[in-house]
Amino acid sequence: MGCALSGSGISPGKTIPESKWCPSAESQAASKAGPEHGGDGPGAVPFPLVDAQKERIQESWRILHDNIARVGIIVFIRLFETHPECKDVFFLFRDIDDLQQLKMNKELRAHGLRVMSFIEKSVARLDQEDKLEQLAFELGRSHYRYNAPPKYYEYVGIQFISTVQPILKERWTPEVEEAWQSLFKYLTAAMKRGYYRKRRNRAASNPLALRKPGTGSILNRI
């Protein structure tokens, strides 16, 4: 697959095919307990990471931290390359077709930094499972307002992993990869529950709130 990131300073590496993103046994349990399987609300999914995995994540994040602005941009450029329909959710850049131009866009940079800051907060809360889950659950609720559908959330983790792999070089191991996969599976499962909870609450309080895709709130048009 071609990549719009040549010259970004980070070797694009290979985008991991979704079919090869093998969830750990724990994260499979997480997704089975997701909203479509009856799980709901914070606490619906057991925390999947053991101490050794938390340490692998914390250690790799210390290196990644110096690169977060670039990583944030690349993750979203690759998301838009592989799933162009995701770009339509962003009113700020939905009309920019040239991904090279978008790479320089200051709003995309700011958005990438917000997402990376969320990852940073998550890494800092690996030992506070309740807080971590609440954080992701609330983020999922906000994404209902942004009209960003859950089916796309896991793609962000896939692109994150393929972006950070060349930065970590020989420090990237199958064990590090599995730890990050498990974390993203967990976070996105909690986000999905937050999204569906918000949607259900909105539908209960106002049946007219159930809207067609693409007619989201003005929050993501500013």
Q: Which residues bind ligand HEM (CB under 6 A)?
A: 86, 89-90, 111, 114-115, 118, 139, 142-143, 146, 148, 152-153, 156-157, 187-188, 220
Minimum CB separation of residue 220 from ligand HEM in Å reads 4
Considering only CA atoms, which of 157, 112, 192 is closest in space to residue 16?
Answer: 157
Name which of 53 and 186 has its Cβ closer to ligand HEM: 186
Residue 105 C-alpha from the chain's centroid = 20
Name which of 21 and 118 has its Cβ closer to ligand HEM: 118
> Measured between alpha carbons, how far is residue 107 from residues 72, 114, 157 in Å?
11, 10, 21
> What is the enclosing helix (H) or strand (E) of 208?
none
Minimum CB separation of residue 177 from ligand HEM in Å reads 16
3-state class (DSSP) for residue 119: helix
> What is the enclosing helix (H) or strand (E) of 196?
helix 174-205
Between CA 172 and CA 190 the distance in angstroms is: 26
Name which of 13 and 216 has its Cβ closer to ligand HEM: 216
Name which of 86 and 126 has its Cβ closer to ligand HEM: 86
Name which of 7 and 182 has its Cβ closer to ligand HEM: 182
Query: Can you point out the beta strands (E) in 64-125?
Result: none
Minimum CB separation of residue 75 from ligand HEM in Å reads 9
Minimum CB separation of residue 170 from ligand HEM in Å reads 27
Query: Can you point out the beta strands (E) in 15-119?
Result: none
